[in-house]
Amino acid sequence: MKFIAHTCVIALSLIATAASAQAVRVEKNMSLDLANQIAAATVAACSASGYNVTAAVVDRAGSLRALQRADNAGPHTVGAAQGKAYTSASARNTTAAMLESVQKNPGAATLVDIPGFLVLGGGVPVKVGNEVIGAVGVGGAPGGHLDEQCANAGIAKVAELLK
């Protein structure tokens, strides 16, 4: 009987340990240094093409980590960049893909009604493997596809850090 009681205590202890291990998650996230590097590289990529943009970088929860606005970038680009970054991080997808979905699928049209979402091209998730750790949003180039190109160029500059 003592053996059975002891075995039950051990079993319950193992179950409790397993349950608590599942309750705590370990996640990768966007550091301030990485966010600043991505924002600077993104603005530089657009500047090289003659576009005055703002780049916003958010963490996995969509909270702003870095914002850089090029000289002569319009004031509206700040909100646009932040909205695109937030939307991309939240949906774990590019905003261009979301825009396409909204345009082609009437059921997805209400995505534009989500507070804080900006469904325009220019938001790109930042990933380590398949895990989204944040996103970059760009506003100010003459087209969302160009904003997205700059975002991708900024992420490419730090690709070695995303392994």
For the segment 5-38, what is each residue's pLDDT rounded down to a tens digit? 555 555 555 555 555 567 898 999 999 999 999 9
State mean pLDDT over 120-130. Answer: 97
Q: Residue ranges of the alpha helices (H) in the chain? A: 2-23, 32-48, 76-91, 95-104, 144-157
Domain architecture of the chain: domains with CATH: 32-162 (3.30.450.150)
For the segment 48-72, what is each residue's pLDDT rounded down to a tens digit? 999 999 999 999 999 999 999 999 9
How many angstroms from the chain centroid is the CA of residue 31?
A: 12
> What is the pTM assigned to this prediction?
0.86
For the segment 101-113, what is each residue's pLDDT rounded down to a tens digit? 999 999 999 999 9
